[in-house]
Chain A
Amino acid sequence: MAGDKSLFSTPTVRHATSRDYDDVYEPAEDSFLMLDALEQELDVLRSMKPTVCVEVGCGSGVCITFLARLLGPQAFCLCTDINPKAADFARRTGRENNVLIHPVLCDLCGAVEYRLQGQVDVLLFNPPYVVTPSSEVSSGGIEASWAGGVKGREVTDRLLPRVGRLLSPRGVFYLIVLRENVVEEIETAMKHQGFTMTTVITRKAGREHLSVVKFHRVR
């Protein structure tokens, strides 16, 4: 179906100039894996009729733009980034693809987590997951998009304790993990907050074994 083809196509980033990618993470295998996971989850996502969707660390904005397009104008899609150039790039990605997304510059979900507590139906996070020395985990710029520190988990581990407070009772959280991130430990941490984990999709991209895992509350 022609309509579906455009629905599932990768959001265009034709507004990008080559210099943009000096400062903003260019959509890559991990981003595309998240898009594929969301496509695979389409029926689940649509049947829950999400009202509030948030992507933390949106980078180029292709994931939240893709989600906004899948869900249509019924969903409020807000995204955050710590990198001013990424937030602006995401704004342009939304505009270029004719969907309304709402970028905010802040650390993780800091500026919105008080008002959005218990309200987020879909939460996305493609964290900086690469194992690096802690000193490389940065607070801005392009390094912030990949440097994950010890186990590649230092940034992910800062978001996890906040997920339970953010998500609505039926809310779901999609997270990208690398094999080196030790997903069992993430699963355990989330289990303590009452969440169960499932693997949506796994792929080997070059040397990286990547998965998208999904968390929802145990009923």
Chain B
Amino acid sequence: MKLLTHNMLTSNIIKGVTKGFPLVINPSRVEVQEVDFNPDFITRVLPKLDFTALKQAATQVGHADKLPEALPETADFGEDLQKTLHHVLLQVEVLEGELVCPETGRKFPISNGIPNMLLNEDEVS
């Protein structure tokens, strides 16, 4: 699971959960995988991100050191920041661990890099 994917996941599929975002990451195995840097992609995907959630997730998996507290207001980020975002969004892979619903504490396993957001029938909203 890339942190880009994590940024799109919510647990409000659970009955009674209103927001379910961001999910807490408890990583047990994190890997860095080489992905070609594509500045256009970063520019296009940024408006779709919740940066606070990304920063929190990056901290939880131990890759937040170069990430600023907030994104600059300007559209032009410079290559260093773009590369940092590329690394955090696409190169950091959570292979094993769990995601935790911020409202209920319900745990969702991550196995082989795939988050398992399946619910039991009695949990479905």
- The size of the chain A interface, using a CB distance under 8 A, is 28
Q: How large is the interface on B (under 10, 10 to 19, 20 to 34, 35 or more residues)?
A: 20 to 34
Residues of A within 8 A of B9 (CB): 104, 111-112, 115
Min distance, Cβ B16 to any Cβ of chain A, angstroms: 15
Min distance, Cβ A4 to any Cβ of chain B, angstroms: 21
Are A73 and B38 interface neighbours, CB within 8 A? yes
Q: How many A-B residue pairs have CB under 8 A?
A: 78
A110→B14 CA distance, assembly (Å): 10
Are A91 and B113 interface neighbours, CB within 8 A? yes
B residues 10-37 near A (Cβ < 8 Å) are 10-13, 20-21, 35-36
Are B13 and A107 interface neighbours, CB within 8 A? yes
Residues of A within 8 A of B45 (CB): 51-52, 76
Min distance, Cβ A60 to any Cβ of chain B, angstroms: 15
Min distance, Cβ B27 to any Cβ of chain A, angstroms: 17
Which of B7, B10, B113, B124 sits near A111, CB closer than 8 Å? B10
A142 at the interface (CB under 8 A from B): no
B87 at the interface (CB under 8 A from A): no
B residues 95-125 near A (Cβ < 8 Å) are 112-119, 121, 124
Please tell me which stretch of A16-24, A81-89, A157-165, A175-183 contacts chain B, meaning at least 4 of its Cβ atoms lie within 8 angstroms of it: A81-89
Given contacts A74-B40, A106-B117, 18 further A-B contacts (CB under 8 A): A51-B45, A73-B38, A74-B38, A74-B41, A78-B5, A82-B118, A91-B113, A100-B35, A102-B4, A105-B114, A111-B9, A111-B11, A111-B115, A112-B9, A115-B9, A115-B10, A116-B8, A119-B48
